[in-house]
Amino acid sequence: MKIKKLLAMTLAGVMTLSLAACGNGKTDSGSNTADTNKADTPAASSTTVSDAPADGEISDRDKAVNGESLVIWTLADDLKQFAQRYTDQTGVDIQVEVIAPADYPTKLTSALGAKSKEVDVIVGEPQMLLNFFEAGFFSDLSALDADAKEQIVDYVYEAGKDENGVLRALSYQVTPGAIIYRRDLAKEIFGTDDPDKMSAKFKDFDTILKTAEEVKDAGYRIFSDSGNLRWYANAGSAWVEDGVLQVSDAKLGYMDAAVKLYEDELVAFAPEWSAAWYASMAGELPLNAGWSDLAEVSGEDMTQVFSYSLPSWGALIVRDNAKDNKGKFGICSGPCSYFGGGTFIGVSEYSEHKDTAADFVRFCTLNQDTAQWWLETSNGDVVSNKAVLEANKDFENESFGNQKTYEFYTKEAQNIDYSIVTKYDDTIGQFWGSSIEAIQKGDMTREEAIEDFYMQVEMTFPEITVNR
């Protein structure tokens, strides 16, 4: 199939766009900005979160911020809104510079490697944090540790600590993942759209392949493309333990499932971020649309995509592109609980305004009023504050069949095992994705691709032991 060669060239990158940490626990059940659709957030009056400031932070703030200003470097527009709210409450002038994710690590490393004092508040996504911490860029936030441990979802709290357990960053959001499926197609194919029963259809890689066959027999495709499985690439265990590379049977099962989904044409060949991917959320698409302009594809068989594996921010993308399918989606668990992305905020080690910068971090992450405001303003972002999540757990989301989505994502976040995350994950995940791509393209056999993977790890990380 001609389209396969085009898609295979992009697969490795698609499969490792962001950090994914799968936990063994299972539940039964860039950041996102606001749009005009208010279906995914409860009205402000529906919660019981207190309007009172936590821990006396407002009364203590005047001394910290008097006459000061802040410079923020960030990856997304979210912090512009947080900064404006902080300015309105404190009078502190804030300059926010949004930097493209591809350029951010280089710019931050260049500036802070030279101990520049030009920036006060810095950010990182999870896959960047460990290396940033090791470089000494993020200041000690131990003064916030006790409150963070009590108020913030566990994996977010753990992700913000360096290898010595010192808190250096916090996030205002959680990004747990899920399978987002079509309820109407589920009823047609399986006779039910119940999230618990759909979770059983995605409980492991072998079951996913069986489900994919059933979906194809009904005229549909289980995923937009095989890259949907990338979120489960570590298959619930660390890539590196005690300095030794871990290629478990489950990781090999992930490889085999990704290859079979591709070779047996069990997916729609519509990669993430392509025009066909967005269009698939609203209805039919040509099987071989790929990256092409949909208007140029003719004479092809049509299909519909049954499900997508995406972090919580991906649910907002599905919602906003569903058109007439809005309300026809549900959310269920996959093979393991995972997360992807998320903006973590910290203070530059070289800032001359550390107290005010730390106060801004507290304001964004440990203030319940701010968390409730962001949940509503973002129109669906899942906040990291446990009390606010609890206050909104019974909200029924119209865009997802009136499912209690905040309750679902809270449970998924609780099952994420952050202890299996290492600083090697992003690069090793890319190597693993490249090996899968090579098999799919027919450039290597399974054995050759695995051997090539071992060689890449050995050359890149000589400190890691590779046992063949």
- Note the pLDDT tens digit of each residue in 403-427: 999 999 999 999 999 999 998 998 9
pLDDT for 29 beyond 70: no
Cα–Cα distance, 185 to 461 (Å, whole number): 46
Extended beta strands in 260-312, E state: 285-286, 302-303, 307-311
Query: Which amino acid, residue 340?
Result: G
- Is residue 405 situated within a structural domain? no
pLDDT for 16 beyond 80: no
pLDDT at 361: 98
- Is residue 436 situated within a structural domain? yes
Same domain, 254 and 207: yes
pLDDT at 8: 34
Same domain, 119 and 235: no
pLDDT (mean) for 4-15: 33
Same domain, 302 and 196: yes
Same domain, 251 and 323: yes
pLDDT for 56 beyond 80: no
pLDDT for 364 beyond 60: yes
- Is residue 16 situated within a structural domain? yes
pLDDT (mean) for 216-239: 93
pLDDT for 372 beyond 50: yes
pLDDT at 22: 63
- Is residue 52 situated within a structural domain? yes
- How sure is the predictor about 31, in pLDDT bands with cuts at 50, 70 and 90? very low
Query: Which amino acid, residue 45?
Result: S
Cα–Cα distance, 128 to 134 (Å, whole number): 10
- How sure is the predictor about 65, in pLDDT bands with cuts at 50, 70 and 90? low
Query: Which CATH number characterizes residue 70's domain?
Result: 3.40.190.10
Cα–Cα distance, 325 to 180 (Å, whole number): 13
pLDDT at 301: 81
Tell me the sheet residues that pair with 311.
177
Indicate the SS3 state at residue 129. helix
- How sure is the predictor about 234, in pLDDT bands with cuts at 50, 70 and 90? confident
| Percentage above 70 pLDDT, the chain | 84
- Is residue 282 situated within a structural domain? yes
Residue 382: partners with Cβ closer than 8 Å, 6 or more residues away:
173, 174, 175, 176, 312, 375, 389, 406, 409, 410, 413
pLDDT at 201: 98
- Is residue 285 situated within a structural domain? yes
pLDDT at 26: 36
- Is residue 58 situated within a structural domain? yes
Average pLDDT, the chain: 87
Structural domain boundaries, residue 362: 44-175+340-396
The Cβ of residue 19 has, within 10 Å, a number of other Cβ atoms equal to 24
Same domain, 330 and 386: no
Indicate the SS3 state at residue 309. strand
- 32-46, 177-191, 285-299, range with the lowest pLDDT: 32-46
Same domain, 106 and 118: yes
pLDDT at 42: 79
- 2-16, 179-193, 301-315, range with the lowest pLDDT: 2-16
Q: What is the pLDDT of residues 244-286, one digit of tens each?
A: 999 999 999 999 999 999 999 999 999 999 999 999 999 999 8
Tell me the sheet residues that pair with 122.
346
Same domain, 211 and 112: no
Same domain, 216 and 278: yes
Residue 241: partners with Cβ closer than 8 Å, 6 or more residues away:
none
Q: What is the pLDDT of residues 214-226, one digit of tens each?
A: 999 999 999 999 9
Total residues belonging to the chain:
468
Contact status, residue 261 vs residue 211, Cβ threshold 8 Å: no
Q: What's the number of domains the chain is made of? A: 2
Q: What is the pTM of this model?
A: 0.85
Same domain, 228 and 265: yes
Exposure of 461 in the CB half-sphere (CA atoms within 13 A): 19
Write phi, then psi, for 36 (nearest 5 degrees): -85, -5
